[in-house]
Amino acid sequence: MKGDKGARVKPLAPRIMAKRVFSGVQPSGSLTIGNYLGALRNFAKLQHEAECLFCVVDLHALTVPQDPKELHQRTLDVARIFVASGIDPDLATIFVQSHVPAHAELSWLLECTTYDGELRRMTQYKEKAARQEVVTSGLLTYPVLMAADILLYQADEVPVGDDQKQHLELARDIAVRVNNRFDEEIFKVPEPYIPPKTAGGRIMNLQDATEKMSKSAENPRGNIAILDSPDEIRRKIKSAVTDSGREIYYDEVNKPAISNLMVIYSLCSGQSLDEIKSAYVGSGYGQFKSDLAEVVVETLAPIQKRFTELSEPGVIEAILAEGRRKAEPLALPTLRRFQDRLGLLALS
Ligand code: AMP
Ligand code: TRP
């Protein structure tokens, strides 16, 4: 492909909002406190400083087998959790990926500018493919669909957890490649917004601190789901693995399990890691864990309450319909411009 590197690009016309933010969450399982601390909490903050689009990426979920009824329900539930976590549909646009067909259309066009080797190198592809009996081509091209989600909206910033870093780098590479090829800024090159580990960028599994907490994990004991009952939360934290010794301090290498619990404690309570360490000098893991459970229960209680209120029929559906109405007109100009530059015949 012509000019992958180095060519200058013409800037886009200035926008009204200083910054546009895009992020997506798959409706592929029960959202965890990792999703909340690593992503959703930041979405709610960003909506005050940028024009935000938050998308339930249902097409991404189809890359692995899904039960249709569950997918339907989870799509609505993820949107409800967005709102329950503080995303205000009057400030941010909340919508479903498949409601804006431009995502799938742009994805195809971008697949034709992405190399097979780039996709086969993706760590998440290798991990997920190893776990599947049948590997679909959608699983391989998944990061291109993600690039399409982001590039379609000319997003400046993409808030995600640490696990999405490689996918975002690919989205940037694709944008630069297309811009260079046409010597024009067809796509804004997006910046990642990834919190450091101590700020929730990577919350680990409670049963295995070497694994990321994941909503699609086979064993839910290591996850705290946002909708878990207080008793489930207490039980899971009580049975969380700990490290040798009985002191409580942050040390990712030698005390990965306690460090992870401390990060959760810190983000839920607003206390610093140092404050937590001082508060538990000499008290052992038992007291720390039982206090942590209460802090987590208190953090999730208001989200769970709002979630229940949003379960009234029609409420979330109306928010999603409005979201689609706002998102689609933002997406189409980029798609049409790229189609034109590629030589595709315009609709008449
Ligand atoms: P997913 O669950 O893969 O759809 O992810 C939705 C968002 O939550 C993405 O931004 C992920 O990077 C983030 N996320 C998922 N799991 C974690 C975790 N264990 N720690 C921090 N962020 C996470
Ligand atoms: N791949 C992301 C994940 O699993 C979800 C996602 C899809 C996304 N499209 C996106 C995240 C666009 C940010 C921007 O977490």
Structure confidence by residue, pLDDT tens digits, 117-130: 999 999 999 999 99
How many other C-beta atoms can be found within 10 angstroms of the C-beta atom of residue 151?
Answer: 27
Q: What is the pLDDT of residues 29-44, one digit of tens each?
A: 899 999 999 999 999 9
179 C-alpha to ligand 1 centroid (Å): 29
Q: What is the pLDDT of residues 151-172, one digit of tens each?
A: 999 999 999 988 999 999 999 9
Average pLDDT over residues 178-205: 96
Backbone φ, ψ for residue 32 (5° rounding) = -110, 175
The tokens of 102 are what? 């431009």
Return left, alpha or beta for 6; rule: phi > 0 is left, psi -120 to 50 is alpha, else beta: left
Ligand 1, CB cutoff 6 Å, lining residues: 25-26, 34-35, 38-39, 160-161, 163-164, 200-203, 212-215
CA distance 187 to 10: 11
CA distance 36 to 78: 11
**Is 128 among the residues known to form the active site?**
yes
**Is 212 among the residues known to form the active site?**
yes
CA distance 178 to 168: 15
- DSSP class of residue 64? S
Q: What is the pTM of this model?
A: 0.93
DSSP symbols for 262-325 = HHHHHHHH---HHHHHHHTTTTHHHHHHHHHHHHHHHHHHHHHHHHHHTTSTTHHHHHHHHHHH
Residue 330 CA, chain-centre distance (Å), reads 21
* Given the residues 188, 212, 236, 255, the one annotated as active site: 212
Domains with residue ranges and CATH for the chain = 20-196+313-342 (3.40.50.620), 220-307 (1.10.240.10)
Q: Is there a contact between 208 and 221 (Cβ–Cβ < 8 Å)? A: no
338 C-alpha to ligand 1 centroid (Å): 30
Minimum-distance ligand 1 atom for the alpha carbon of 35: 8
Minimum-distance ligand 1 atom for the alpha carbon of 26: 4
186 C-alpha to ligand 1 centroid (Å): 29
